[in-house]
Amino acid sequence: MSYKFITSAKLPTRHGEFDIHIFENQDGQEHVMLTVGLPVVNQDAIDMLNQHDAALNQQHESLSERPVPLIRIHSECLTGDAFSSLKCDCGPQLNTAMQAIQEMGCGAILYLRQEGRGIGLTNKIRAYALQDQGHDTLDANLMLGLPADARVYDMCGPMLAHVGVDTVRLITNNPNKVAYLTQHGIDVVERVPLLVGVNDMNAEYLATKRDRMGHLLDKDFNTALHLNK
Residues annotated as catalytic (active site), given as ranges: 149, 151
Q: How far is the CB of 80 from Zn ion (least distance, A)?
A: 3
Q: Is the dihedral of CA 189, 77, 216, 105 positive or negative?
A: positive
Instruction: Please say whether the dihedral angle defined by the alpha carbons of residues 127, 132, 133 and 139, taken in this order, is positive or negative.
Output: positive
Binding to Zn ion in span 160-219, by CB under 5 A: none
CB count, 10 Å around CB of 74?
A: 20
| CB of 62 or CB of 83, closer to Zn ion | 83
User: Is there a contact between 196 and 93 (Cβ–Cβ < 8 Å)?
Assistant: yes
Do residues 133 and 139 touch, judged by C-beta distance below 8 A?
no
The minimum distance between CB 45 and Zn ion, in angstroms, equals: 39
In the complex with Zn ion, which residue's Cβ is closer, 47 or 204? 204
Nearer to Zn ion, 8 or 208 (CB): 208
Closest distance to Zn ion from the beta carbon of 164 (Å): 30
The 3-state DSSP class for residue 16 equals strand
CB of 112 to Zn ion, least distance (A): 13
How many binding residues for Zn ion (CB under 5 A)?
4
Binding to Zn ion in span 61-100, by CB under 5 A: 77, 80, 88, 90
Residues in contact with 110: Cβ distance below 8 Å, sequence separation at least 6, in sequence order: 31, 32, 33, 71, 72, 73, 74, 155, 156, 159, 160
**Residue 165 or 206 with smaller CB distance to Zn ion:** 206
Residues at the site binding Zn ion, with contacts judged by CB under 5 A: 77, 80, 88, 90
